[in-house]
């Protein structure tokens, strides 16, 4: 595919001896108003070396660029050279690239040879997999697909919260008020009720907290009975998590959670001690971070137990040694900003030069329409229920429409789950948002179902046309003159760049928004231009663009972890 910036830089490089290719490329601008061209080159910087007024330089450059096939028009406006690219060339190049690359259109190899570790989802064992977890799970999965599309090796890690004092509480509660049959019948909901009860009782009787702490210490020391209970809770929980991952079609390369690091902690603590970073503080041991504008980080508890951050230090070192990462990304709520700042600082203080490769990718809160949810008080909405509900509602809508007659369940799953995922990725991740079924399942507007429907519409036009294979050598692109066609081609053309941008910001919503633009451009083309016209050549040219659009939309959706049904 033509890389316009590179091509333009190459042309200008011959004329501008003092600037490197890269410098020219970085100076090229994309004007906000398309009346000023597709690309613009500002000449201010050249005034000194060329000893000429910038508007005159612009005029000179224009004179040299005129007649180049890449452009339709080049003009000097004040100190700028405004370049209008040849629309026919853009259309031809875009259609040919999408056809040639197919499912790979949008991908590139800029990350080749580099490994990115992404820690996402990472729910806590024996706690519900609730609507709040959707954010890390879905954003993390989209980031995985984005980095993967750029050729990076990605290691997907589910850092399960399968360790810590909460297991002391859970075991304590189970022993006091629990029974096996209830847990087996309905594991997580039952365990959650014990957990809730524990907190209610502990408010009245704080000695319960001490008891739970001792149980956790026993667990950490490998006490048989405690370990067995813990393992049982973990297994049951994973069953439930995996049901949700299956619905979302999400998988991981590693489920090494917090417990995995329990035997790696003594060495880490020793290392911190050797590096004189551990300071005793009221029976605990901490790393002092106040001089860095952070809060001190407790590393070892009074009873010798480790903490969440201790395990994260061990995990970061383990990941560096195991994967030699280029980036170590954590997709975790912004409530944990301090935790990750502390982690990064401690790794830096330990003398590791890869501390700056640690990247916390935070996101805002989800709340329900009636208020925020809290595991502690037992008011929670299970993600599985949300997904099932979305699928059920979608099934009704699809049945009403009557277009899909076979595999209705499969389509309902793709659309219903796709709707939830797409909605999740629609806004800037850092924003808080309120979850509402009505919004998620709204099939009009800037939603997943709207984009999916556009994709299905494109396929339906192609089916109706009855053209099996489009022979690109026969296409006359001059039939695609209208603005709608150019805009659609431009949006298709931009997909690969958009994916690069999304990775650089760790922001999947960049892709989501572009996919919506793409669908809107497609629909504009579809409505403005009659596609199945009499003239065979014109029809074929239009169908080629329809197919290019369909490929781009499908690939864009897939990058987000959303499926594109063929009929809707």
Residues at the interface with ligand ARG (CB under 6 A): 119, 122-124, 159, 161, 312, 315, 330, 332
State which residue, 170 or 492, has the beta carbon closest to ligand ARG: 170
State which residue, 331 or 559, has the beta carbon closest to ligand ARG: 331
State phi, psi for 277 to the nearest 5 degrees.
Answer: -100, -15
Cα(385)–Cα(420) distance, rounded to whole angstroms? Answer: 12
State which residue, 134 or 485, has the beta carbon closest to ligand ARG: 134
Task: Provide the 8-state DSSP code for 126.
Answer: T
In whole angstroms, the minimum distance from the beta carbon of 159 to ligand ARG comes to 4
Q: Which residues contact 123 (CB under 8 A, 6 or more apart)?
A: 129, 133, 160, 161, 241
State which residue, 79 or 386, has the beta carbon closest to ligand ARG: 386
CB atoms within 10 A of CB 34: 13
Cα(297)–Cα(287) distance, rounded to whole angstroms? Answer: 5
DSSP H helical segments within 28-108, as ranges? 47-50, 54-65, 87-101
State which residue, 57 or 244, has the beta carbon closest to ligand ARG: 244
In whole angstroms, the minimum distance from the beta carbon of 125 to ligand ARG comes to 9
Residue nearest to ligand ARG (CB): 161
Sign of torsion over alpha carbons 87, 89, 92, 97: negative
In whole angstroms, the minimum distance from the beta carbon of 398 to ligand ARG comes to 35
> CB of 269 within 8 A of CB of 287?
no
State which residue, 105 or 261, has the beta carbon closest to ligand ARG: 261
Ramachandran region of residue 399, left (φ > 0), alpha (ψ -120 to 50) or beta? alpha
> CB of 289 within 8 A of CB of 342?
yes
Query: DSSP letters along 21-38, please?
Result: HHHHHHH-B--SSGGG-S
State phi, psi for 476 to the nearest 5 degrees.
Answer: -105, 105
In whole angstroms, the minimum distance from the beta carbon of 50 to ligand ARG comes to 54
State which residue, 127 or 547, has the beta carbon closest to ligand ARG: 127
In whole angstroms, the minimum distance from the beta carbon of 250 to ligand ARG comes to 16
356 burial type by CB count under 10 A (0-12 exposed, 13-18 middle, 19+ buried): exposed
In whole angstroms, the minimum distance from the beta carbon of 262 to ligand ARG comes to 15
State which residue, 124 or 394, has the beta carbon closest to ligand ARG: 124
In whole angstroms, the minimum distance from the beta carbon of 127 to ligand ARG comes to 8
In whole angstroms, the minimum distance from the beta carbon of 150 to ligand ARG comes to 23
């Amino acid at each position: 595919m033509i890389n316009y910036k590179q091509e333009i830089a190459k042309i200008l490089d011959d004329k501008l001896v003092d600037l490197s290719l890269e410098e020219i490329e970085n100076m090229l601008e994309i004007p906000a108003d398309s009346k000023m061209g597709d690309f613009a080159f500002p000449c201010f910087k050249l005034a000194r070396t060329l000893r000429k007024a910038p508007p005159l330089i612009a005029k000179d450059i224009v004179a040299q660029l005129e007649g180049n096939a890449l452009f339709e028009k080049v003009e000097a406006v004040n100190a700028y050279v405004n370049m209008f690219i040849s629309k026919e060339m853009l259309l031809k190049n875009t259609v040919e690239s999408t056809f040639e690359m197919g499912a790979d259109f949008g991908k590139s190899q800029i990350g080749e040879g580099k490994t990115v570790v992404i820690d996402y989802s990472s729910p806590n064992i024996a706690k519900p997999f609730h609507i709040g977890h959707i954010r890390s799970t879905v954003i993390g999965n989209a980031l995985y697909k984005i980095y993967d599309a750029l050729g990076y090796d990605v290691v997907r890690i589910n850092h399960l919260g399968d360790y810590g004092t909460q297991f002391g509480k859970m075991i304590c509660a189970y022993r006091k008020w629990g029974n096996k049959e209830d847990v087996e019948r309905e594991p997580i909901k039952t365990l959650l009720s014990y957990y809730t009860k524990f907190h209610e009782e502990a408010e009245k009787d704080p000695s319960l907290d001490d008891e739970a702490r001792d149980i956790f210490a026993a667990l950490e020391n490998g006490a048989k009975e405690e370990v067995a209970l813990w393992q049982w809770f973990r297994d049951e929980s994973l069953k439930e998590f995996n049901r949700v991952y299956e619905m979302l079609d999400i998988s991981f390369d590693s489920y090494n959670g917090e417990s995995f690091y329990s035997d790696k902690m003594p060495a880490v603590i020793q290392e911190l001690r050797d590096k004189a970073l551990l300071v005793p503080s009221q029976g605990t041991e901490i790393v002092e971070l106040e001089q860095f504008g952070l809060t001190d980080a407790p590393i070892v508890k009074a009873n010798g137990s480790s903490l969440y951050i201790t395990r994260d230090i061990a995990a970061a070192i383990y990941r560096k040694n195991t994967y030699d990462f280029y980036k170590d990304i954590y997709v975790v709520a912004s409530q944990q900003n301090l935790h990750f700042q502390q982690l990064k600082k401690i790794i830096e203080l330990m003398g590791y030069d890869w501390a700056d490769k640690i990247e916390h990718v935070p996101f805002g809160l989800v709340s329900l329409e009636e208020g925020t949810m809290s595991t502690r008080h037992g008011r929670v909405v299970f993600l599985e229920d949300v997904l099932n509900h979305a699928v059920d509602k979608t099934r009704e809508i699809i049945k009403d429409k009557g277009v899909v007659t076979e595999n209705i369940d499969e389509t309902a799953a793709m659309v219903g789950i796709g709707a939830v995922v797409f909605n999740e990725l629609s806004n800037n991740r850092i924003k808080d948002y309120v979850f509402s079924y009505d919004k998620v399942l709204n099939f009009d507007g800037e939603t997943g179902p709207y984009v999916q429907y556009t994709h299905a519409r494109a396929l339906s036009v192609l089916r109706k046309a009855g053209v099996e294979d489009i022979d690109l050598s026969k296409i006359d692109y001059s039939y695609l003159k209208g603005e709608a066609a150019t805009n659609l081609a431009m949006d298709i053309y931009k997909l690969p760049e958009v994916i690069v941008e999304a990775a650089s910001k760790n922001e999947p919503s960049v892709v989501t928004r572009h996919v919506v633009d793409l669908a809107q451009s497609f629909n504009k083309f579809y409505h403005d231009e009659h596609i199945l016209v009499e003239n065979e050549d014109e029809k074929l040219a239009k169908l080629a663009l329809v197919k290019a659009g369909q490929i781009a939309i499908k690939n864009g959706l897939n990058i987000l972890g959303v499926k594109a049904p063929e009929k809707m």
